[in-house]
Chains A and B, each alone.
Chain A
């Protein structure tokens, strides 16, 4: 019976909607400074609708609107935005305008099923339904207009401002939506959902309208009556674009309204639009087009943020630290795009929750599996193929997401007749697995596993291999609506290996690895809408094997040589508060206190005080037993940021950060394939410290569809490691004798214009940034470039990026990338000097020259299959050309001695234009 009635109800709804849609007429005109009754008359004239309203109430409502072919729905939405007016369309051509209460023109979803939910039950006062008939789904109409009770009417009144909380999920897949924006009618409250899709806010008792928006989703609205603390979970619907519908922009107002500055958030949709080599959507490649982000060269491992080194970025993949985020010389990022949910890059105003690196935090979040049905996708391109699947193991309770990606370039290389290729190989794969298990409303468990592996060899000589392995377990526990905690534990592993077997006698394997074990407890507490407090404890235990050389094969005469293992414990306590002082002004302040213990077993050299650290100044060797605390560093870090909104579309932000880093990388850049040497801080190597001040100005135009920003920053660094003249880095048993602690400064200005909506979207950015280092300590034994400031090896002053996507129709789009940057600095050998019987190379001052500028243009055409929502397979094609101009950009520049002469070479891997085609299917 109930079912029958429901069916009838839905039918009526649909009928209403259809008749409305058929009669829809568009409204045009300049209605600036109109009073509402005047506008109503104009609308009635243009559309034939009749509008019912209370003229006494609407008299004071002023209209600022220029309509150019808008629907009735759009006009009224615009007029009533941020007011407590509501409107409803019914009976084909009648519009009812009401204040505070909306009129329901249909019955709520579970009107006939009152037993289903107690706290979500329908308020008796909701009598009539409103809203546009454009929405086809009955569920949507009901949910949007239903009045939800939060808490219980007769419940004990716990506080004057009850808190409500809940999860925002994708209605189709049940996956949490991270970063969905939540606004409360006319109140100045803005909340974003966290990585679990969770939100919490406190409201005065009474009636409110909540609005939820998120990229790629339809806005959702909930009307609530708050009695006491309560829950509200919200399902949002995917935005299926139909013609002539206004597209809801991604983070509509987040650019000017969030306190965070220097944060860039990308969702996978915008990442997938950018053409990249071999048509594989790539997280890192897209990051590199953002202002302030650059890489040392094509195919280098990682990226540089605001004049920082590549090792100064904390790269988190679902809270696991990934040491090498790339595949195949850095041409692919090691994150499977089909498993990525969101990517956030913090360039300044780094939350106090994160620490341990100086420059930035890159937070890549992995998808939760669809907890309603099984879906998947597969893709194929000339070099790689990938497959992903997700779905519920137990509906609404346990879900899994799994992705696998591999290359089959190996067999291909062997097909080639040129021996230098058939003797080569290139292999990689990555696997991600994410399990989500909802124990109950208060407890959720997450398990994540990740593995990536790379192996390549050119012309049968040196083999390079590296791998990441990560595993973690998270437990989220909600104490109450206003407070929750996340406990995380896990293992991160990174290793690399270089081996050469060309000459059996000299065959060697050089291996290296890092293991870290961590435990984190992160608490969030929002006592009211003005404050969001976060605090917690992080602890990481590092275990580093900084290099082992061993013979490879029975004929090898190579002697085993292992640099001693290092271990350390880094712990941090943090506390922060996000304080919304007023609608216009908010700030964020935090402190993080880190304690670092360098632990035994270890053998430490002691150097003669007052003399440069050199092998010949080693005075003593001290051997420490296992577990012994050899050296402790304790340093506080401060984070502060503030936002002031000048008006709805304009804001100014300011931030100050201090950071500490205990693990360092020294890059050996002189050979063909750069290898990195990681080193923990120890008694001789101090932690590096950094401070950053930045100021940003943000303005949005055209209803926030065009975002512009200018950010300036100034950074200082202490104890950043650079190599000494003639340093030997590989297998160095006393690396401290070959490095110098430098002082650094970096500054820059970043401009960005970004258009999120419309047929043409994308961004243009320009960055001017400099990074200089200085070593003028007379006790260091050497003053680089006479103690003057010199450019760091990743100093790249000018950078221009253009990312454009033009949508011809919903099925065809064209993407274009243009990337330009100044070449990185290099120290050149200039001459050969004969002295005392030896021939020595004379090098220029450090980093006084630059390799050629980098320039690349890529183009791609994307073709989507048809858009029927319910079809089984959705397929898409992407074809394009990488490096359209065929420019030979330098991957590395190196010098070798040949026949008594020194010859420089520039190696460019993609020295010509490269066509590609990729096929993707979603099921």
Chain B
């Protein structure tokens, strides 16, 4: 009996230790933390337009992905008092200036007036010229940690005047991909037609494009000359779908000043994951924008002024022996009842998830549309102008 009650007591002790974790949502986290965030740079490269994306930050538990800020009045202002208005493209809070020839010797700032009447300004910024990218290259290596072959894309640059020192890069990557089957048939209304000679109607070859999602930074301050050598930009593991056919990366280089570099370094650190032993400590991202209306109102972003240099690299699957991507789903085909011989091109198959693959001795062989149309994997069937 005594032992029993003793055990019960012990159980109680441990059970009371159970369920000791509960969500922590203090008022500061639950409050609406939708602050204005400005992303972009003033392009002083000559004969160029500048683009800014203005959106709002999200609360930690928000389910929306994006809160674009529409209807802002956005201006690039020069120190000498000239204003260059930017227009709202109406898309995702993107604002674009006209093609301008801004004088790199003059300091500029960005002014944003949101539709709710709050006004934000950046500091006046000295423009910095971007040195050219010397090369963008790639190499294969064996990644021991992952036990797999990997492809690294890197960039090389230098500034003979030794003035740049701090660099940021981003890139736009485009890759070609294809559908599981190539069908020669297109459909207009319920009438089939051959697309063999109409490239704009083909659905076999696609090109997908996406922007980099990490902050890439480099510095040469510790070096005797301003050289960036073999700076890794992107990394692919073996059989990456992007390298299945042909891949292209456009690397863009932005020169930064020391303060901007420190800001982007913090953004880089704050965009890593949380919750583990090796985590980074929290950091503040102190940009160069402030609210004119209410100085305590946070606003994110660091506006730089610079020219920009870029370089494109193509990588063909042919130069990657053994790299093969397999679409991770199967594509069964079916034979269906032959069409009315009098009206062979009239398509009346009821299930619209399926489409004609080819005729086998007059009998239609069908497959699911995602096996016939590469756009189901994303991208567009229009070949980009720069594609080789």
Contact = CB atoms under 8 A, between A and B. Distances in A.
A618 B26 CA distance: 41
A915 B29 CA distance: 35
A849 B29 CA distance: 10
B283 A831 contact: no
Interface-central residue, A841, A893, A895, A916, by most chain B CB under 10 Å: A841
Given A416-B14, A728-B280, A897 B37 contact: no
A842 B22 contact: no
Contact of A835 (B222, B286, B301): B301
A206 interface: no
Interface in B129-148: 144-147
A608 B262 CA distance: 16
Interface string A892-923: 01111100011111111111111111000000
A671 B276 contact: yes
Contact of A418 (B18, B39, B215, B280): B18
Interface string B178-215: 00000000000000000000000000000000011111
Given A670-B281, A836-B267, A846-B284, A888 B221 contact: no
Nearest to B273: A897
Residue picked from B10, B39, B58, B270, most chain A C-beta under 10 Å: B270
Nearest to A382: B10
A784 B241 CA distance: 44
A588 B243 CA distance: 78
B277 A829 contact: no
Q: Is the interface of B mostly helix, strand, loop or mixed?
A: loop
A903 B19 CA distance: 16
A830 B29 contact: yes
B11 interface: yes
A624 interface: no
Contacts of B39: 834-836
A675 interface: yes
A837 B274 contact: no
A830 B28 contact: yes
B176 to A, nearest CB: 22
Contact of B60 (A786, A904, A912): A904
Given A726-B283, A832-B58, A557 B144 contact: yes
B12 interface: yes
Nearest to A841: B270
A584 B20 CA distance: 55
A612 B265 CA distance: 13
Nearest to A671: B277
A126 B270 CA distance: 85
A838 B270 CA distance: 10
Nearest to A559: B145
B281 A726 contact: yes
B37 A833 contact: yes
A910 B35 CA distance: 38
A831 B19 contact: no
Contacts of A843: 270, 282-285
A320 B62 CA distance: 53
A915 B12 contact: yes
A909 B17 CA distance: 5
B281 A725 contact: yes
B269 interface: yes
Interface in A763-803: 781-782, 784-786
Given A383-B13, A784-B284, A842-B57, A725 B269 contact: yes
Q: Do most interface residues of chain A lie in helix, strand or loop, or is the interface mixed?
A: mixed
A621 B3 CA distance: 65
Contact of A726 (B61, B211, B266, B300): B266
Contact of A915 (B9, B19, B212, B277): B9
Contacts of B301: 835
Nearest to B287: A835
Interface string B258-271: 00001011111111
A611 interface: yes
Nearest to A784: B284
Nearest to A883: B16
A416 B11 contact: yes
Nearest to A412: B10
A21 B274 CA distance: 75
Interface residues of B, number: 74
Contact of A903 (B37, B60, B282): B60
B277 A675 contact: yes
Interface in A41-76: none
Interface in B267-311: 267-271, 273-286, 298, 300-301
A641 B244 CA distance: 79
A723 B57 contact: no
B23 A904 contact: yes
Interface in A817-852: 827-846, 849
Nearest to A896: B275
Contact of B23 (A421, A903, A914): A903
B279 A726 contact: no
Contacts of A738: 281
A901 B61 contact: yes
Contacts of B213: 837-838
B33 interface: yes
A834 B7 CA distance: 54
A444 interface: no
Interface in B203-256: 211-215, 219-222
A725 B55 CA distance: 24
Nearest to B218: A616
A415 B21 CA distance: 22
B60 A831 contact: yes
B271 A839 contact: yes
Given A608-B222, A836-B215, A895 B274 contact: yes
Interface in A845-869: 845-846, 849
Contact of B21 (A730, A895, A905, A912): A905
Contact of A910 (B17, B34, B211, B220): B17
A573 interface: no
B16 A844 contact: no
B29 A840 contact: no
Contacts of A833: 35, 37, 57-58, 285, 300
B340 interface: no
Interface in B296-342: 298, 300-301
A822 to B, nearest CB: 14
A115 to B, nearest CB: 59
Nearest to A408: B10
Given A728-B280, A835-B267, A670 B274 contact: yes
A896 to B, nearest CB: 3
Interface string B20-57: 11111110110001110101000000000000000101
Interface string B152-170: 0000000000000000001
A413 interface: yes
Contacts of A906: 21-24
Contacts of A828: 26, 28-29
B283 A837 contact: no
Most-contacted residue by chain B among A418, A618, A838, A904 (CB, 10 A) = A838
A252 B44 CA distance: 81
Given A412-B14, A828-B28, A836-B170, A382 B6 contact: yes
A840 B270 contact: yes
A837 B277 contact: no
B118 interface: no
A619 B222 contact: yes
- Nearest 3 A/B pairs, CB to CB: A725-B283, A726-B269, A896-B275
22 contacts: A382-B13, A617-B222, A618-B222, A668-B281, A670-B274, A670-B279, A671-B276, A726-B281, A728-B278, A829-B60, A831-B59, A835-B301, A838-B214, A841-B282, A896-B275, A897-B273, A902-B61, A902-B274, A904-B24, A906-B22, A914-B12, A914-B16
Given A841-B270, A844-B28, 16 more contacts: A383-B13, A608-B222, A617-B221, A670-B280, A675-B277, A726-B280, A828-B26, A829-B60, A836-B264, A837-B170, A840-B285, A849-B28, A896-B275, A901-B61, A902-B61, A905-B21
